[in-house]
């Protein structure tokens, strides 16, 4: 024990922050907050989510901004494309010529007004004469038949002349009246595509609810009960699931009158079986854990354990499966409508719109383009969201 003097300078005050190293500096995140944080980092998923929200908004309120209803038709303004090649006839007179070589009155900006009535319509010599703004306009389409037979795709098919002078295309403008063009009955495709969105998203909603209530409960009960009950319940699921579900849906659709309600019933009747399998697997995996025993010790009833304890703990995979299920339901509806088992006219879904467009595909490809685009974008959005949800909710499955 010497009186060794310790130099004061060899000490320095402890940095206080070291004490706080163990302190919880951030609020602890719940499972869902954590998942949301991870999901937000996934740009593609967020893009998908935004697209789905936009699509839903568009489906809900979009038709309100359209001046047409989905069933409004004006036969003489049928098959007008979204982009118009307009001709100037007079200082304030512009026309668009449709594929049947008929003139339609439009404005410079591209608003479709009405069809011109020809003064003379000679179907033998194949020309029409109109009087527009005091001028004589002649549409001669007598070489159309020859041109479409020739191998040259650019062959001239018609000639428009005004008082004998040939008329050239003035401009190509956007169709202001029918933003996506009009169909063969002169219905506004924009409005119909938005109504189609309503139907597809409604189907998606129904598929989700059915999966959620029937699929989750069925699978949950089978997994939780175990033993003979489980065996029996899952054999039933096996029997249903071995046959392509679409076959059942078609069968059901044949029996009932085609319509929106029927599609919902048909999809609702069979589309829950995959969910039941997934949930059963999850429940089997977690039902032996201590918290179940704890709940049972506290006197919780079986149904309470299942609904309040087991199913919430299996929610991650359930939501992922749901996000993957929705595109398949949308596909099914489009498919059914396409083979003529869908919603009945004049209602429109994306599938019926695509089906309607097929016959006129050669001359009016835009009529297929928009419904196909909307189906694809929606399915893509749900796929992106589903992939992101899988990574966010179930990190073990991260790919």
CB 200 within 8 A of CB 208: no
**What is the nearest approach in angstroms of another protein to the Cβ of residue 84?**
21
State how far the Cα of 90 lies from the Cα of 24, in Å rounded to an integer.
78
**What is the nearest approach in angstroms of another protein to the Cβ of residue 383?**
6
Nearer to another protein, 5 or 362 (CB): 362
Question: In the block, which residue shows the tokens 């995996």?
Answer: 285
Nearer to another protein, 222 or 354 (CB): 354
Nearer to another protein, 177 or 274 (CB): 274
Nearer to another protein, 99 or 304 (CB): 99
Residue 176 DSSP label? S
Nearer to another protein, 44 or 307 (CB): 44
Nearer to another protein, 266 or 319 (CB): 266
CB-based contacts of 253: which residues, under 8 Å, 6+ apart? 262, 263, 266, 336, 341
Name 159's bridge partners.
140
CB-based contacts of 71: which residues, under 8 Å, 6+ apart? 187, 346, 347
Nearer to another protein, 170 or 335 (CB): 335
Tokens at 357, concatenated: 């467009």
Residues that bind another protein (CB under 8 A): 153, 235, 238-239, 242-244, 246-248, 250-255, 327, 331, 334-335, 338-341, 354, 357-358, 361-362, 365, 368, 372, 375-377, 379-380, 383, 399
Q: How far is CA 267 from the centre of its chain?
A: 17
Nearer to another protein, 156 or 339 (CB): 339
State how far the Cα of 83 lies from the Cα of 81, in Å rounded to an integer.
5
State how far the Cα of 351 lies from the Cα of 371, in Å rounded to an integer.
7
Half-sphere exposure of 241 (CA within 13 A, CB side): 15
**What is the nearest approach in angstroms of another protein to the Cβ of residue 325?**
13
Beta pairing class for 120-122 and 127-132: antiparallel
CB neighbour class for 118 (10 Å; exposed up to 12, middle 13-18, buried from 19):
middle
State how far the Cα of 111 lies from the Cα of 283, in Å rounded to an integer.
60
Residue 116 DSSP label? P
């Amino acid at each position: 024990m010497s009186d060794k003097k310790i130099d004061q300078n060899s000490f320095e005050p402890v940095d206080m922050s070291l004490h706080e190293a163990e302190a919880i500096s951030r609020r602890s995140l719940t499972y869902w907050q954590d998942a949301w944080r991870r999901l937000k980092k996934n740009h593609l998923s967020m893009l998908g989510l935004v697209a789905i929200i936009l699509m839903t908004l568009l489906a809900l309120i979009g038709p309100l901004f359209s001046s047409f209803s989905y069933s409004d038709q004006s036969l003489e303004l049928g098959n007008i494309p979204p982009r118009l090649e307009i001709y100037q006839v007079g200082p304030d007179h512009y026309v668009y010529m449709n594929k049947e070589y008929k003139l339609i009155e439009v404005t410079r900006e591209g608003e479709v007004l009405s069809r011109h009535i020809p003064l003379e319509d000679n179907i033998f010599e194949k020309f029409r004469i109109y009087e527009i703004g005091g001028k004589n306009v002649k549409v001669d389409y007598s070489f159309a038949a020859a041109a479409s037979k020739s191998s040259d795709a650019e062959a001239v098919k018609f000639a428009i002349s005004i008082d004998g002078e040939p008329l050239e295309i003035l401009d190509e403008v956007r169709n202001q009246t029918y933003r996506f063009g009009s169909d063969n009955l002169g219905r506004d495709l924009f409005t119909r595509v938005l109504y189609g969105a309503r139907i597809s998203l409604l189907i998606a909603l129904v598929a989700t609810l059915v999966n959620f209530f029937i699929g989750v409960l069925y699978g949950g009960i089978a997994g939780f009960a175990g033993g003979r009950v489980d065996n029996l319940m899952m054999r039933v699921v096996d029997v249903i699931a071995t046959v392509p579900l679409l076959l059942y849906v078609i069968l059901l659709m044949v029996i009932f009158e085609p319509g929106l309600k029927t599609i919902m019933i048909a999809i609702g009747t069979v589309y829950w079986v995959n969910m039941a399998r997934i949930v059963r697997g999850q429940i089997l995996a977690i039902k032996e854990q201590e918290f179940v025993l704890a709940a049972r010790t506290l006197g919780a009833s079986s149904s309470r354990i299942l609904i309040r304890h087991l199913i919430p703990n299996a929610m991650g995979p359930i939501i992922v499966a749901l996000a993957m299920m929705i595109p398949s339901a949308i596909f099914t509806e489009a498919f059914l409508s396409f083979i003529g088992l869908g919603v009945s006219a004049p209602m429109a879904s994306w599938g019926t719109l695509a089906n309607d467009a097929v016959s006129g595909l050669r001359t009016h490809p835009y009529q297929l383009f928009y419904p196909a685009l909307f189906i694809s974008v929606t399915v893509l959005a749900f796929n992106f969201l589903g992939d992101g949800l899988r990574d966010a909710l179930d990190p073990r499955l991260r790919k």
